[in-house]
Copies of this chain bind each other. A is one copy, B any other.
């Protein structure tokens, strides 16, 4: 296999999976559910910027991928509890590491952005 035809080790399926699990809201939802199970509106309050529609879509996608489980509480009115699934639990350390990386490096990134924006003007 020569260099000119060398292809990535990441197939489309892996890109799709990581895209569904690392997207805008999923990281934060999973992080929250790793702490403890949460109700729908509890998650909304914990992530104030997410809309109901986007949170619903995020939770469905995570459920479909086996990352979270959904528990219907038969009260009136009904409640729904979301909790981390075993498969989602395998992501916990990775998510923690990503959030810590972001917190640690954001200042450096900001300086890089300022340099870039100043140079291209």
Q: Which residues of A contact B (CB under 8 A)?
A: 3-10, 12-15, 17-19, 22, 24, 27-28, 31-32, 42, 45-49, 63-66, 87, 90-91, 94, 97-99, 101-103, 105-106, 108-109, 111-113, 115-117
Report B-chain residues with C-beta under 8 Å of the C-beta of A15. Answer: 24, 27-28
The secondary-structure label for the interface of chain A is: helix
Q: How far is the CB of A22 from chain B (nearest CB, A)?
A: 5
Contact of A102 among B18, B28, B32 (CB under 8 A): B18
- Beyond A9-B99, A22-B22: 13 further Cβ-contacts under 8 Å? A3-B42, A5-B45, A6-B46, A7-B46, A8-B28, A8-B46, A10-B99, A10-B102, A17-B109, A64-B116, A87-B108, A87-B109, A87-B112
Report yes or no: A102 in contact with B17, Cβ–Cβ below 8 A.
Answer: yes
Report B-chain residues with C-beta under 8 Å of the C-beta of A117. Answer: 64
Report B-chain residues with C-beta under 8 Å of the C-beta of A106. Answer: 13-14, 17
Report B-chain residues with C-beta under 8 Å of the C-beta of A116. Answer: 63-64, 66
Report B-chain residues with C-beta under 8 Å of the C-beta of A5. Answer: 45
